[in-house]
Amino acid sequence: MEKKIYLDNAATTKTRPEVVEAMLPYFTEKFGNPSSIYEFASQNKKAVDEARGIIAKALGAEISEIYFTGGGTESDNWALKATADAYASKGNHIITSKIEHHAILHTCEYLEKHGYEVTYVDVNENGIIKLDQLKKAIRPTTILISIMFANNEIGTIQPIKEIGQIAKEHNILFHTDAVQAFGQLPIDVNEMGIDLLSASAHKLHGPKGIGCLYIRKGAKLRSLIHGGAQERQRRAGTENVPGIVGFGKAVEIALETMEERKEKQIQLRERLIKRVMAEVPYTRVNGDRMKRLPNNVNFSFQFIEGESLLIMLDMNNICASSGSACTSGSLDPSHVLLAIGLPHEIAHGSLRITLSDENTEEEIDYTVDKIKEIVNKLRQMSPLYEDYLRGSRQK
Amino acid sequence: MEKKIYLDNAATTKTRPEVVEAMLPYFTEKFGNPSSIYEFASQNKKAVDEARGIIAKALGAEISEIYFTGGGTESDNWALKATADAYASKGNHIITSKIEHHAILHTCEYLEKHGYEVTYVDVNENGIIKLDQLKKAIRPTTILISIMFANNEIGTIQPIKEIGQIAKEHNILFHTDAVQAFGQLPIDVNEMGIDLLSASAHKLHGPKGIGCLYIRKGAKLRSLIHGGAQERQRRAGTENVPGIVGFGKAVEIALETMEERKEKQIQLRERLIKRVMAEVPYTRVNGDRMKRLPNNVNFSFQFIEGESLLIMLDMNNICASSGSACTSGSLDPSHVLLAIGLPHEIAHGSLRITLSDENTEEEIDYTVDKIKEIVNKLRQMSPLYEDYLRGSRQK
Amino acid sequence: MYTEKVMDHFSNPRNMGEIENASGVGTVGNAKCGDIMRMYLDIDENGVIKDCKFKTFGCGAAVATSSMATELVKGKTVQEALQVTNKTVMEALDGLPPVKVHCSLLAEEAIHAALWDYAEKNNIKIEGLSKPKEDIHEEEKEPEY
Amino acid sequence: MYTEKVMDHFSNPRNMGEIENASGVGTVGNAKCGDIMRMYLDIDENGVIKDCKFKTFGCGAAVATSSMATELVKGKTVQEALQVTNKTVMEALDGLPPVKVHCSLLAEEAIHAALWDYAEKNNIKIEGLSKPKEDIHEEEKEPEY
Ligand SMILES: Cc1ncc(COP(=O)(O)O)c(C=O)c1O
Ligand SMILES: Cc1ncc(COP(=O)(O)O)c(C=O)c1O
């Protein structure tokens, strides 16, 4: 295929043309600083608050509970560090899961170095958090539970409402990293008992470098970034007006098209899974088959290694990933795949495909053909496959 | 005048059309995540590194010493907090000045609450830091000196090279907040002995929400934002590729046009100062007359209050500021004007005008006419002026 | 940030100026906080405020509340003028931003101070009026960050 | 991320496959780290490597270094083959990204392991060759973050 087939929408998405359109005036015509006093700048303040309103509504939150940040990672850092700081007098224990994004895990490591204790709850073989283990982990000193809404690698959707309930019963703040879920799944912070929620625009066809943190009214979070009085004195720094406007527009479109995209993506996803499972032996699908993001597929192909597979797909104009984008330069197999119990060599042979509403059946069919071809080629090259065949022959 | 006269370029600047042009492809065509492995994304990695190279060159730094952030405020927070964290075993004392931006001052307050000690060095009546006081403030436990390159309110340029030398002699890290200076003044981190430097794109006709921190090789700064392995594992979060590309382009243009802009702005600045001082009595210029940014003027008009002046200028289509944009919603008089020794009522009557290369003589002349008119009107309204006149009459 | 009414009273302040030999003059606020208001009252022998003028050093809201306050007390009796509170002034201006509410308090105090001056000069006691704070040089607490 | 040469050897690997009844076979690496290389050598009575084939489970660099290594040792004597180091392999590929340098080491080790197997089978001692690490099941330290 001549055209690029982009199947890595969990890494980042194309900014929608309507979003870029909405942003453009705020670079050159309406470039003022929203904090300035003159009329020329007040239109920017208004634009920022409109975007805030859109996002608040999408989450069932109040407009004053949305705070803009420089991205999902900053939101995660803020939620964890500032809660830890603000509630240090209450306790020093945080509960999270083994399959969180590095933005959570490495922040937890940082906190562990600074006197906090962290429990990393297990997931089952389908990648769903073990609720009984989570409940048992609660201590009198627990100040925060942070469990992601949906996983970025295997797409599993966590029982957020149940966790919200547990947190509420124990009077513990509940944060969820909804970077992958926001825009794909309906979210209601009140119904689900969420106190803090991270989101990032570039995962839902908005621009990069802008995100937000929902902070429930009353949560006494400190600032992570100190300085000017922006974002109601909680997040300093001149507002990224075009980014914020673009985030708002992207959320607006995501909400409007959610149902339609979901149906289309599930249909493509199932077609992909069905064909691959039928045509490529020694393959498994990672993560719960039902409780998963509409756009996520994660395969493990035995006997082969993921990077080779990715490069060969790339040579055929197919963009995919073998884990989270951030770690694809690393040698470690994915911590998420290990957490669901895959042995190392199988974890190494994983492929993540994440769809957008622009993908077509034709693209999926072409991709399956190529996967088949390449997996076959790599297995011919693999000493593990050789050993396996020899072993079977000897049996 | 029908057209808007924008004289608040220290608050933020218009993104240059060439900059927006350079950014655009990275929203929709080349939207990939630079960390991804496929060819499609590697062009983004390249674009990021090109921008990094431009900025490194502009600072006389190495390309590997530039780290992108979400803005000047984040850079300032990072520089201070991460140095404090990394060098805590060496000491807990930081030296800064009384006229820093709130991004520095409020971060210092945060650090003071967490066991660090901060000395705030005075400036003289011209707004230049007292070097002898700075030297005397040094203790065996001093781990960082943070002095801004140029002040955002009164435009004064600090003796950076001398401070760099002092820091080096005492083996102390030296950070400078160059958010206002970068793009306006030549900077060489090696010649000036700078170890850490903050910059922000939107102050030099680049986009909002993107900045950088220069970190000298060998400085063992920790991360402020933890997560993925971006920015050589020091600043996590998906790279804001369009923002970074725009930052690079803006710096490129700023460097090319620096001399030309400087001449033009100094000429306009001097015309403005000359006319106002000649035509509006009871007026002073704040900040050193020579050691100041080419584009900055800061007046105090006795007997009147700044916000009224700003609103009336705004009604005449003139955008200006009476302190830093972040605090213009506050009741405090500017901490910078107090630091140079102005009494409160005079500090309240200040006006900051900051030029860009788009301003014209005509605009300046019109502005002076309006200032004259408005200051006169406000003085007629002022009980302080009434008292002053009565007092003079009685003499 | 301001309502149309505020902007109107700011750009075209009513009753700005001084009254020579005023029946009462009151000055409140302090330069440190950036607001000083002075009210002049001309009160006739029936205790009716025939004229009222102001001078103000301060922000847009300070000017507008002064202007509105003069309008509100003009033609009223002293007792009626005492009913003009900061709330009355704010409502008449269609509201003020939260950080500017103190301006309307200042306007109320300025009227009271001028009335107090009038009462002292005429050696009378006005029911419900207490001595205004002499806060023109008072140190105010810096607002907390 | 990879040079053209690496991409060439990755997409068209030379000498991929097995040699039946090889003179020596060596397997190095481990699945935990995601790289396993197996080298087959066919060595004649004069100690010349007449044929060399590989199988590799691993990343692009692992495949390319294996391929290049087979090219480099083919036709060489055992002693000459010992001179083929990871550096030789890397240079022949116009370089590798820093995180992938270990792949070239693996290629060197794989050749050594195959030569060791050849020496053991034939009961000879090869000057300068030491027993390769049996690290196929060895636990490796996780890289530090
Ligand atoms: C689950 C999850 N959390 C956090 C992040 C970080 O978001 P960002 O890259 O916008 O900082 C990502 C994406 O990289 C993610 O998938
Ligand atoms: C001197 C100085 N430092 C830091 C900042 C903060 O930069 P930003 O608004 O990009 O976060 C500013 C501008 O607001 C500034 O003028």
* Cβ–Cβ gap B37/D1 under 8 Å: yes
Distance A67 CA to ligand 2 centre (A): 19
Report in angstroms the alpha-carbon separations of D2 from A251, A330, B42, B52, D55: 38, 15, 11, 21, 20
CA proximity to C73, closest of C28, C35, C25, C39? C39
Q: Does any CB of chain B come closer than 8 Å to the CB of residue A96?
A: no
Atom of ligand 1 nearest to the CA of A73: 11
- Could A308 and D99 be called an inter-chain contact, meaning their C-beta atoms sit closer than 8 Å? no
Q: With touching defined as 3+ CB pairs under 8 A, do chains C and D touch?
A: no
Q: In what order do the strands lie in the sheet with D35-43?
A: D24-30, D35-43, D49-57
Task: Read off the pLDDT of each residue in C34-51 and give the average, rounded to a whole number.
Answer: 95
Q: Mutate which of B106, B152, B210 to test ligand 2's pocket (most atoms within 8 Å of Cβ)? A: B152
Cβ-nearest to A384 among D10, D36, D62: D36
Task: Supply the pLDDT for residue C145.
Answer: 31
CB A372 within 8 A of CB A313: no
Tell me what percent of chain C is helix, strand and coil, each rounded to the nearest 5: 40, 20, 40
Q: Calculate mean pLDDT across residues A267-278.
A: 98
Q: Shortest CA distance to A205 belongs to which of A2, A1, A21, A50?
A: A21
3-state secondary structure of A170: coil
Average pLDDT over residues A255-277: 98
Which residues from chain B sit within 8 angstroms of residue C144, using beta carbons? none
Pairing of strands B318-319, B5-6: parallel
Helix then strand then coil, in percent of chain B rounded to 5, is 45, 15, 40
Q: How many CB atoms lie within 10 A of CB B391?
A: 9
Contacts of D38 (CB under 8 A, 6+ apart): A383, A386, D25, D26, D27, D54, D55, D56, D110
Helix (H, G, I), strand (E, B) or coil at A372: helix
A12/B33 touch (CB, cutoff 8 Å), yes or no: yes
| Burial label, B136 (beta-carbon count in 10 A; 0-12, 13-18, 19+) | exposed
Asked if D touches A (at least 3 Cβ pairs < 8 angstroms), the answer reads yes
**Mean pLDDT, chain D, whole residue set:** 90
D→A contacts (Cβ < 8 Å), by residue, are 2, 7, 10-11, 13, 16, 18, 27, 31-38, 55-60, 62-63, 99, 142-143, 145
Asked whether the CA dihedral B258, B179, B143, B135 is positive or negative, the reply is positive
User: ipTM above 0.90?
Assistant: yes
CATH architecture type of domain D4-122: Alpha-Beta Complex (3.90)
Neighbours of chain A (3+ CB pairs under 8 A): B, C, D
B155 lines ligand 2 (CB under 6 A): no
Per-residue model confidence (pLDDT) at position B52: 98
Atom 9 of ligand 1: nearest residue by CA position: B238
Question: Is C143 within 8 Å of B348 when comparing Cβ atoms?
Answer: no
Q: How far A66 CA sits from the closest chain C CA (Å)?
A: 20
Cα(A66)–Cα(A201) distance, integer angstroms: 14
Q: How far is C67 from chain A (nearest CA, A)?
A: 22
State how far the Cα of A268 lies from the Cα of B184, in Å rounded to an integer. Answer: 53
B108 a catalytic residue? no
DSSP percent split of chain D into helix, strand, coil, nearest 5:
40, 20, 40
Q: Where are the beta strands (DSSP E) in chain A?
A: 5-6, 66-69, 93-97, 117-121, 142-146, 173-177, 196-200, 211-215, 283-285, 296-301, 318-319, 350-354
Ligand nearest to the CA of B34: 1
Question: Which tens digit of pLDDT belongs to each residue from A62-81?
Answer: 999 999 999 999 999 999 99
Spell out the domain ranges in chain D. Answer: 4-122
B42 in reach of chain D (CB within 8 A)? yes
The CA-based angle A289-A291-A297, given to 5 degrees, is 50
Residues from chain C contacting residue A37 (CB–CB below 8 Å): 1
Tell me what pLDDT residue D98 has: 87
From the DSSP assignment, how many helices (H) and strands (E) are in chain A?
Answer: 14, 12
Q: What is the mean pLDDT of residues A13-24?
A: 98
Residue C119 C-alpha, separation from nearest chain A C-alpha, in angstroms: 41
User: Mean pLDDT for each 10-residue chunk of chain B (395 residues)?
Assistant: 90 98 97 93 96 98 98 98 95 98 97 97 98 98 98 98 98 98 98 98 98 96 93 94 98 98 98 98 97 98 94 96 56 87 91 97 98 97 95 74
- Model pLDDT, residue A151: 98
Contact list, C145 vs chain A (CB under 8 Å): 233
B308 Rama sector, left if φ>0, alpha if ψ -120 to 50, beta otherwise: alpha
Give B333's contacts in chain C (Cβ within 8 Å). Answer: 32, 34
Q: For all residues of chain C together, what is the average pLDDT?
A: 90
At C15-33, the pLDDT tens digits run: 999 999 999 999 999 887 8
Instruction: Pick the residue whose CA is nearest to atom 15 on ligand 2.
Output: B179
Rounded to the nearest whole angstrom, what is the distance from the C-alpha of residue B203 to the centroid of ligand 2? 8
Mean pLDDT check: name the lowest of A139-143, A366-370, A388-392. A388-392
Q: Which ligand is nearest to the CA of B70?
A: 2
Which residues of B fall within a CB distance of 8 Å from C34?
305, 307, 331, 333, 344-345, 348
Cβ atoms D5, D94 nearer than 8 A: yes
Q: Which residues line ligand 1 (CB under 6 A)?
A: A 71-73, 76, 101, 103, 148, 152, 177, 179-180, 200, 202, 211; B 237-238
Q: Note the pLDDT tens digit of each residue in C52-81.
A: 999 999 999 999 999 999 999 999 999 999
